[in-house]
């Protein structure tokens, strides 16, 4: 009985540490996937006169532009020849619920405010601060029953032209991603976790520092 009691105590001590280790491993894997996505963006731009993929509406991967599928390809479909299929696991954060088939987004707020759908890499003057992509933690972007989008298909063109995709726990209508914070991919290719928007290191404006989602201005 004493031995069993000791084993039970050891397990109680070890299980939280093991859980934290698993969470850390998932965050590292997610960060690696985002860095690979950053390379995909660079490869796309290199073959398209410096332009990044364009955002548009709600897209079904491989759809024909009918029903809930908006006409034209989503940004992940444009990127596919230079990176990977949106159906591949590299688009899914391992810490997110399995119902989330694709959990990364394309930053589009500044473009939308300027009435545009695509950006050239040379326009990004704050490359080490500009949020290019990251964990998509907003419930509004996912179909029911997990999310609140009201759509029945998963969007392969997740972008934040109207509402933020990158939300930080415990903000309302936010999915928790990682204990250390959401992984954010910046335009220079580096990935860092953040628990909240930090104006000293982040901006949603490719030309101006420190602008959060609601502060983005036109040129």
Q: How do the domains of the chain map onto residue ranges?
A: 2-215
The pLDDT assigned to 177 comes to: 86
The answer for residues whose C-beta is within 8 angstroms of residue 64's C-beta and 6 or more apart is none
C-beta atoms surrounding 125 within 10 Å: 13
For the chain, give the percent of residues with pLDDT over 70. 90
Please report, to the nearest 10 degrees, the dihedral formed by the alpha carbons of residues 159, 162, 166, 171 taken in order. Answer: -150
The SS3 of residue 109 is helix
pTM for this prediction: 0.90
The pLDDT assigned to 13 comes to: 46
The pLDDT assigned to 14 comes to: 47
Asked if residue 9 has pLDDT above 90, the reply is no
């Amino acid at each position: 009985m004493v031995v069993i009691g000791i084993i039970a105590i050891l397990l109680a001590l070890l299980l939280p540490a093991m859980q934290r280790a698993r969470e850390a491993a998932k965050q590292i894997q997610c960060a690696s996937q985002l860095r690979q996505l950053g390379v995909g963006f660079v490869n796309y731009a290199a073959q398209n006169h410096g332009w990044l993929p364009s955002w548009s509406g709600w897209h079904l991967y491989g759809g024909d532009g009918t029903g809930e599928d908006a006409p034209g390809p989503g940004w992940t479909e444009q990127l596919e020849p230079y990176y990977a299929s949106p159906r591949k696991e590299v688009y899914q954060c391992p810490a997110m619920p399995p119902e989330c088939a694709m959990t990364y987004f394309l930053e589009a707020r500044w473009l939308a405010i300027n009435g545009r759908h695509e950006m050239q890499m040379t326009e990004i003057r704050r490359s080490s601060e500009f949020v290019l992509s990251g964990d998509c933690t907003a419930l509004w972007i996912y179909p029911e029953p997990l999310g609140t989008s009201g759509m029945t298909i998963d969007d392969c063109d997740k972008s934040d032209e109207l509402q933020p995709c990158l939300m930080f726990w415990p903000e309302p209508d936010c999915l928790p991603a990682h204990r250390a914070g959401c992984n954010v991919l910046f335009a220079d290719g580096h990935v860092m976790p953040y628990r909240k928007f930090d104006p000293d290191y982040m901006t949603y404006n490719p030309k101006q520092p420190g602008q959060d989602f609601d502060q983005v201005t036109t040129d």
